[in-house]
Structure 1
Amino acid sequence: MHWFPLIVQAGLSRAALRFGCATVSSQRLDPLVEPGQIPSAHVHQIVGGNAFNATMTGDIGEQGTCTTCAYTEDFSNYWTAVLYFRHPTNGSYKRVPQYPNAQLGYEGRDAPDIKGGMTIYYTESDFETDGDQYISAFKPGFRMTVGSPTITNLSDAQRLPGLRYTCLETILTRSHETYELPSRPCPAGIMAIHHFPTCWDGVNLDSPDHQSHMRNIKPPGDGGFLNRARCPESHPVKMPQLAYETMWNTTAFADLWPRDANGTLLPQQPFVWSFMDGKGYGTHADYVFGWKGDSLQRALNSSCMFHGCGSPGMPGVLQTQPVADMNRCAVENTVTEDTEGWLTEIPGQQAMMRY
Structure 2
Amino acid sequence: MPSRTAKITTALVAVTVGAGGLGAAPLFAQGGSDGPRGGGHHHGPPAQGAQQPGSGLGVGPGTGFGQMPGAPATQPGVPGTQPGSGPRTPAPGMASPDITSPRVGPGGDTFLGEGMRRGRSFRVSCGFAKSGIFDPIVFPGQDPAGHDHQFFGATTINKDSTGASLVAANINGDATTCTRLRDGSAYWMPSLQVADDPANPVTVQPDEIRVRYHAPRGQRVRSFPVGFTLVAGDKGATTVQANAGWRCEFDRPGTPLEAAPPPCDTDEAIVGVVRFPNCWDGRNATNPTQAHMAYRVNGACPTTHPVAVPELVEEVFWPSDGQDHAYQLSSGNAAGLHADFINGWDQRALRNQVRRWLNRRG
1:200 partner amino acid: W
Offset of residue 134 of structure 1: 2.0
Offset of residue 62 of structure 1: 2.4
Give the secondary-structure state (helix, strand or coil) at the position aligned to 2:351. Answer: helix
Change (3 A) 1:236 1:181: same
1:92 partner amino acid: N
What do the CA deviations read for 1:56-76 (whole angstroms, capped 9, x no partner)?
235132233421101111111
Work out which of the residue numbers 306, 312, 331 in structure 2 matches 1:275.
Answer: 331
1:298-317 residue pairs with structure 2 within 5 A?
298-303=352-357
Offset of residue 91 of structure 1: 4.2
Change (3 A) 1:232 1:27: same
Match of 1:196 in 2: 276
Offset of residue 233 of structure 1: 1.3
Change (3 A) 1:304 1:283: closer
Give the secondary-structure state (helix, strand or coil) at the position aligned to 2:321. Answer: helix
When normalised by structure 2's length, the TM-score is 0.60
Match of 1:165 in 2: 246
1:292 partner amino acid: D
Offset of residue 152 of structure 1: 3.5
Match of 2:204 in 1: 96
Instruction: Give the share of equivalent positions with the same residue, in percent.
Output: 28
Tell me, yes or no, if the aligned pair for 2:248 and 2:271 is still in contact at 8 Å: yes
1:322-341 residue pairs with structure 2 within 5 A?
none
Match of 2:194 in 1: 85
* Aligned counterparts of 2:270 and 2:154: Cα–Cα separation in 1: 26
Change (3 A) 1:251 1:37: same
What do the CA deviations read for 1:288-339 (whole angstroms, capped 9, x no partner)?
001112211211111489xxxxxxxxxxxxxxxxxxxxxxxxxxxxxxxxxx
2:272 partner amino acid: A
Asked whether 1:239 is paired with 2:309, we answer yes
Match of 1:248 in 2: 318
Change (3 A) 1:189 1:75: closer
Work out which of the residue numbers 7, 17, 21 in structure 1 matches 2:126.
Answer: 21
Match of 1:134 in 2: 220
1:193 partner amino acid: V
Offset of residue 148 of structure 1: 2.9
Asked whether 1:61 is paired with 2:152, we answer no
Change (3 A) 1:148 1:132: closer
Tell me, yes or no, if the aligned pair for 2:220 and 2:358 is still in contact at 8 Å: no
Tell me, yes or no, if the aligned pair for 1:16 and 1:300 is still in contact at 8 Å: no
When normalised by structure 1's length, the TM-score is 0.61
Offset of residue 92 of structure 1: 2.2
Asked whether 1:122 is paired with 2:213, we answer yes
Unmatched segments (≥5 aa) in structure 2:
1-117
Give the secondary-structure state (helix, strand or coil) at the position aligned to 1:75. Answer: coil
* Aligned counterparts of 2:270 and 2:344: Cα–Cα separation in 1: 28
Deviating above 3 A after TM superposition, structure 1's stretches of 4 or more consecutive aligned residues are 172-175
Match of 1:289 in 2: 343
Tell me, yes or no, if the aligned pair for 1:97 and 1:250 is still in contact at 8 Å: no
Tell me, yes or no, if the aligned pair for 1:47 and 1:68 is still in contact at 8 Å: yes
Q: Relative contact order, CA 8 A, sep 6+: which one is greater?
A: 1
Offset of residue 49 of structure 1: 1.9
Match of 1:153 in 2: 238
* Aligned counterparts of 2:275 and 2:129: Cα–Cα separation in 1: 21
Coordinate RMSD, CA, aligned: 2.4
